Structure 1
């Protein structure tokens, strides 16, 4: 069965992102560094797929990532072209965003979350090499992105390419997902985990306090503080993750909400900012200030309602991309497997063998690397 703790963590991350974009509360980025958590869990899933099917995992991830983007592009790109966006070959980046695709004045705000897909795409493409390095040199590979970011922030590496800066900021979280999938985080003894977490949190927190950005202590404006603080958070959230959270499904409404947010995470993420931008003028029309809690709550609720409508309209694309039967609202009662057999899937992270590793087809072999391979892919 699925690890509902990880499902809950992902659902909370999506909700946190939406609430932050509506309210702009910088404290949310510190309390829950959602983007790094999302990259860590995505890295864990990518590692599981690589362990199971090898480099073809890249194609599988892209197949699940791109169709939802294409739906957004099919609607917004023509609208931007009609409102001033020049038609140039760069428009094709909306099909495969290895760089920021072009947008006009309003599209740049409404579609600003595209950066996440750009980084995700680069991380997926880099993962076959990264997993090879990680299995042979786990600790140096984990430290490499943080060393890159430190060199950039301290001015040692001047004028880095934008992609390299993103690797420094978020690829460390992605690699922590590799470590989670391999079981390394769970196996860390408290005498190691606790000092590491305290060191990362203290260093990251000190950097944040000493280097506030234009929005104060918003982690999005403080890359090094963001990376270090997020690493400490991930080590706790995933390193001491429970094997499950069965209580999530004891309340049908909560369980269904967690399932929907997991099955429609990409759709929610891609569309929510457009509604945030569209509803922003309400602040002036109705007279709510950004400090008005009632006004903020109403805007958050309206954004989620509108996202719910568009998710019902287009969320099924995620089902098709994942080769699942399309559903209007995910999480209904599953159809029993033929013959009454139980459908068993893996928990994540998977147990790691010490002397031999069971592979997906049930055969056994001897590990050949410092990091043993998990056995089965856990997808979402």
Structure 2
């Protein structure tokens, strides 16, 4: 539901967020280690369409420390090790008289013994070895590695599946059928509990959304809003992360951390952009409709406290300058989403409470409100109307993230989500077909259709979320760019419009090469056709420059040491 003028000539529809990785319990992103990672959590942020311009572990299984008392021997007569397994693969327990003889000296470790014989007590003859073992009295239990922990650092081959009981030698160390002359292995130190890690599937979705935003703001093709509704996807990811944080900490702490992580990069962006706008001649003025000059200062303040729509001048500079006169309006356009995201953060504690009491009515209520606004039964003018429209369009996606985090989607039968999504998306297409305007099938300009389509689309993505700890082999080559995009999602979103606008004077300089022999003819014949292709290609080096120049603000906001290029690549050790 962008507001503006789409197209390649500096008008673009930003419609996603991408508020970077927030995966730990405090809502801060964890540095990604390429290739491996701790158990994933669900999560994300979201990026919208550009307003006013159309274009967009558990603890690892440590061997417990034993008691100071010795451990009983499984074979007290000989003191040796279990014999070769009988049928079923289990060693028999040698009979003994008078019970279990404790080992001399004591020690630390684990020891297991077979169950006592059937009848006759501990000293009787064992008739048959049971098919399982129990832990010896007084010995700590050796835990099996927990499924889902990071095996890369402790046990690269995964949880042990050996069914053999272990016995403790005189030193209290675990040994299994080891020759007498071999030295027992040392007991590993307990591993510290690992914090939840990144969900690489959600990282992938966020990265795709950011690329699609840049692509759409260059080309402005309506079908892009249908093939991948980036903004709805990112709102759903942000809602899931918000619900997880609210489940772990107080609402005040969560809101404070989210606002800080959002606003510090925005303040850096606002200071730089406003300096350029003022340099272009923008000055405090009263509104053309008699609006007081006070409102000019209020709108200026909304760049830094975006509870309202922060807007810039429609034109700044002069024709023929380095940038088109509309560059300020284009560059400030994405700030409408900052307002929408901020209001969602503020309202999330209340929304989550309502969702937990009445999940489905709460989830679907915004769709009904969006339909009321879409049919113009109620009309709210100005930026207030835009803010309410934004809320009703994307609140269902935000709360779908709640359902994802709470496990509500997984409780449904497998066929229910695809059926539910198909109905919603079908209704979205029908609504768009009956409300087509000047922008055609651009769902950004048809809020109710966007709400229905995005909710159905996101429901399928989150229901079948594979929750990867690491990217699959076919995607391993994209690991570092995906990590970089998620660590700098706010920076990419805020500065991508400026980068796109700067490609225009760069490409225009290529026309001067048209006078060259041979090459000039090719340039004159094809430069116009390839203009948008060149814009998309050249925008990424400029975005990279923004990452290097302003990305540190995201680290400062997360109370992290500033990093120049956080793509997760491991540094090679020096020779």
* TM-score of the alignment, normalized to the shorter chain, above 0.5: yes
1:16 aligns with 2:225: no
After TM superposition, the structure 1 stretch with the greater mean CA deviation from structure 2, 98-107 or 196-205, is 98-107
Structure 1 residue 284, shift from structure 2 partner:
6.7
**Residue 281 (structure 1) shift:** 5.6
2: CA distance, partners of 1:192 / 1:76: 48
Cross-structure match for 1:147: 368
Unaligned stretches of 5+ residues in structure 1? 336-380
Between stretches 134-143 and 228-237, larger displacement belongs to: 134-143
Q: Counterpart in 2 of 1:67?
A: 264
TM-score (norm 1): 0.82
The alignment status of 1:38 with 2:245, answered yes or no, reads no
Q: Which of the numbers 302, 316, 338 marks the counterpart of 1:117?
A: 338
Pairwise CA RMSD: 2.2
Please name the residue that 2:199 is paired with.
Answer: 3
User: How far is the alpha carbon of 1:297 from its aligned partner?
Assistant: 2.3
How far does residue 113 in structure 1 lie from its aligned partner after superposition?
0.7
1:212-239 deviation line (CA, Å, top 9, x unaligned): 2322211111111111111111011111
Structure label with greater radius of gyration = 2
Give the Cα separation in 2 of the matches to 1:148 and 1:216.
23
Q: 1:20 offset after TM fit, Å? A: 0.6
- Cα distance change on mapping 1:147 and 1:300 into 2, 3 Å: same
Please say if residues 334 and 494 of structure 2, whose CA atoms lie closer than 8 Å, have aligned partners that are also in contact. yes
8 Å contact kept, 1:110–1:273: yes
Asked if the contact 1:169/1:223 (under 8 Å) is kept, the reply is yes
Deviates more, 1:209-218 or 1:33-42: 209-218
Q: Report SS of the residue matched to 1:313.
A: helix
- 2:377 corresponding residue in structure 1: 156
Distance 1:112 1:305 in 2: 21
Q: 1:234 to 1:126 in 2, by over 3 A?
A: same
How many matched pairs? 334
Gaps of 5+ in 2: 1-37, 39-197, 285-295, 316-326, 512-523
* Partners of 1:283 and 1:289 within 8 A in 2: no
Aligned partner of 1:86 in structure 2 is 283
Between the aligned partners of 1:110 and 1:249, the Cα distance in structure 2 is 38
What are the equivalent positions in structure 2 for 1:164-183 lying under 5 Å apart? 164-183=388-407
Distance 1:133 1:27, change over 3 A: same
Q: Which moved more, 1:282-291 or 1:13-22?
A: 282-291
Partner of 2:413: 189
- Check 1:99–1:323 CA distance in 2 against 1; reply closer, same or farther (3 A cut): same
Match of 1:127 in 2: 348
Q: Check if 1:304 corresponds to 2:529.
A: no
Structure 1 residue 290, shift from structure 2 partner:
10
Partner of 2:89: none
Compared CA separation, residues 305 and 333, structure 1 to 2 (3 A):
closer
Query: 1:295, CA displacement in angstroms?
Result: 3.0
1:39 to partner: Cα distance: 0.9
Does structure 2 conserve the Cα–Cα contact (< 8 Å) formed by 1:80 and 1:107? yes
CA spacing shift, 1:288–1:29, aligned 2, 3 Å: farther
Q: Paired residue for 1:137? A: 358
* 1:101-121 deviation line (CA, Å, top 9, x unaligned): 131123111221111111001
| The 10-residue stretch of structure 1 (237-246 or 280-289) with the greater mean CA deviation from structure 2 | 280-289
SS at match of 1:164: helix
> Which residues in structure 2 correspond to 1:208-247 (within 5 Å)?
208-244=432-468, 246-247=470-471
Q: Does 1:57 align with 2:254?
A: yes
Higher relative contact order (CA 8 A, sep 6+): 1
Following the alignment from structure 2 to structure 1, what is the Cα–Cα distance between the partners of residues 479 and 280? 42
In structure 2, the residue matched to 1:359 is: none
- After superposition, the C-alpha distances for 1:276-314 in whole angstroms (9 at most, x for unaligned) are 22334667774799993x432221111111000111111
Whole-angstrom distance in 2 between the partners of 1:310 and 1:136 = 44
